[in-house]
């Protein structure tokens, strides 16, 4: 399966050159993945296989990406801005002797290389920057662009990677319990709850709105520290970084540490009973009101419009 952020990278890559895709450790699924990459504009698809990609942490992927970028004189290397993606990107940049830009929210062609846009200081400023040394390595936040199909050859080239070894090994795996909702960091819509939700049961109204919208559920640190929602759902400086098309903050005051995890969301909606709550400074739309009255109405309106 090809995840949406990979198709977003191909869509952006088309703006700066002829895209290639890299498929690592996919085994028998590689052919289907390569076909999908071709549909979204990959002229070439480099495929490397080996147990190293699944049995070890990031180093084999770094070996492969650096080797492929060097051998093919890549104009740029784009990686998704996940925790793993950023670690891989930093190591690849070091290997290539290149500059790196992280957490880009947009990308365009420029004189002498791609220009990346980053959103900084609680989305108060947009910064445009360009790498001046080597093939730029750029990590792009999920949802930076809507993926657009643009069929290309998708010609598969099998690559044998020279592994450098020295990687941390995976010793066991525990499958994550699935909520059936989209992955928080990749979701196009995130509906979050904070201390204002009042109790674990209070998240019911947040989940109902999320399900009506097909969204992931997030939470503030106050809510997860209170044990009302799992830590894996925490959004913020010490939680997950999300950048959806729509972020709905419910009963969340808007502390700087929370903003740090959601400030690059395209549209922010806040529901808070305190008109002075700092979240309203950041929100595109705000509702001053009790979330237990507002959310059920919003949910039934969403359902009615979908029907
Ligand atoms: C080093 C450090 C790292 C941190 N990392 C994070 C992080 O990653 N993520 C994070 O979120 N925080 C983080 N914090 C904590 C952060 O500073 C805040 O304490 C936290 O975000 C507050 O959560 P909250 O907005 O849910 O709660 P509060 O600030 O208590 O706000 C609750 C809000 O709910 C509103 N409300 C109450 N009842 C209702 C109702 N019925 N209807 C509507 N609105 C209602 C209130 O008006 C209030 O604005 C960190 C703090 C530190 C020091």
Beta strands in 37-146 (DSSP E): 44-48, 77-80, 100-104, 106-108, 115-120, 125-129, 137-140
For residue 182, how far is its CA from the centre of ligand 1 (angstroms)? 23
Among protein residues, the one whose CA lies closest to atom 27 of ligand 1: 195
- Ligand 1 pocket member 236 (CB < 6 A): yes
- Taken in order 280, 285, 289, 290, is the CA torsion positive or negative? negative
| Ligand 1: residue whose CA is nearest its atom 23 | 222
Residue nearest to atom 2 of ligand 1 (CA): 257
Q: How many A from CA of 252 to the centre of ligand 1?
A: 5
CB 33 near ligand 1, within 6 Å: no
Q: Which of 163, 168, 206, 207 is nearest to 48 (CA)?
A: 163
Atom index in ligand 1 nearest the CA of residue 274 equals 47
Ligand 1 pocket test: which of 193, 197, 259, 272 has the largest number of ligand atoms within 8 Å of its C-beta? 272
Q: How far is CA 158 from the centre of its chain?
A: 28
Q: Report in angstroms the alpha-carbon separations of 20 from 68, 145, 155, 261.
A: 10, 18, 9, 30
Decide the pairing of beta strands 115-120 and 106-108: antiparallel
pTM, rounded to two decimals: 0.83
Q: Is 293 in the pocket of ligand 1 (CB under 6 A)?
A: no
> Counting atoms of ligand 1 from 1, which one is nearest the CA of 235?
9
> pLDDT 10s digit of each residue in the chain, 307 long?
899 999 999 999 999 999 999 999 999 999 999 999 999 999 999 999 999 999 999 999 999 999 999 999 999 999 999 889 999 999 999 999 999 999 999 999 999 899 999 988 766 789 999 999 999 999 999 888 999 999 999 999 999 999 998 889 999 999 877 789 999 998 999 999 999 999 999 999 999 999 999 999 999 999 999 999 999 999 998 899 899 999 999 999 999 999 989 988 999 999 999 999 999 999 999 999 999 999 999 999 999 998 8
Q: What are phi and psi of 265, to 5 degrees?
A: -60, 145
């Amino acid at each position: 399966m090809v995840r949406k952020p990979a198709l977003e990278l191909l869509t952006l890559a088309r703006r700066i050159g002829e895209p290639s895709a890299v498929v690592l450790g996919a085994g028998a699924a590689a052919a289907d993945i390569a076909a999908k990459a071709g549909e979204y504009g990959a002229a070439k698809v480099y495929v490397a296989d080996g147990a190293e990609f699944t049995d070890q942490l990031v180093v084999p992927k770094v070996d492969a990406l650096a080797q492929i970028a060097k051998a093919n004189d890549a104009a740029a290397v784009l990686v998704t801005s996940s925790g793993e993606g950023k670690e891989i990107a930093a190591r690849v940049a070091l290997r290539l002797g290149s500059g790196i830009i992280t957490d880009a929210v947009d990308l365009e062609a420029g004189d002498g290389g791609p220009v990346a846009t980053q959103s900084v200081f609680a989305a108060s400023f947009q910064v445009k920057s360009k790498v001046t040394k080597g093939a730029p390595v750029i990590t792009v936040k999920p949802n930076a662009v809507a993926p657009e199909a643009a069929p290309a050859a998708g010609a598969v080239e099998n690559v044998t990677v020279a592994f450098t070894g020295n990687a941390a090994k995976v010793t066991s795996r525990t499958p994550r319990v699935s909520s059936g909702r989209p992955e928080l960091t990749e979701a196009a819509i995130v509906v979050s709850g904070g201390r204002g939700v009042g109790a674990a049961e209070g998240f019911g109204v947040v989940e109902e709105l999320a399900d009506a919208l097909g969204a992931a559920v997030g939470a503030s640190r106050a809510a997860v520290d209170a044990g009302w929602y799992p830590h894996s759902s925490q959004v913020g400086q010490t939680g997950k970084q999300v950048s959806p098309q729509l972020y709905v903050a419910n009963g969340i005051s808007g502390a700087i540490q929370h903003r740090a995890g959601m400030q690059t969301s395209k549209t922010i909606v806040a529901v808070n009973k305190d008109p002075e709550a700092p979240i309203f400074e950041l929100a595109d739309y705000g509702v001053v009101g009790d979330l237990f009255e507002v959310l059920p109405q919003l949910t039934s309106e969403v359902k009615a419009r979908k029907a």
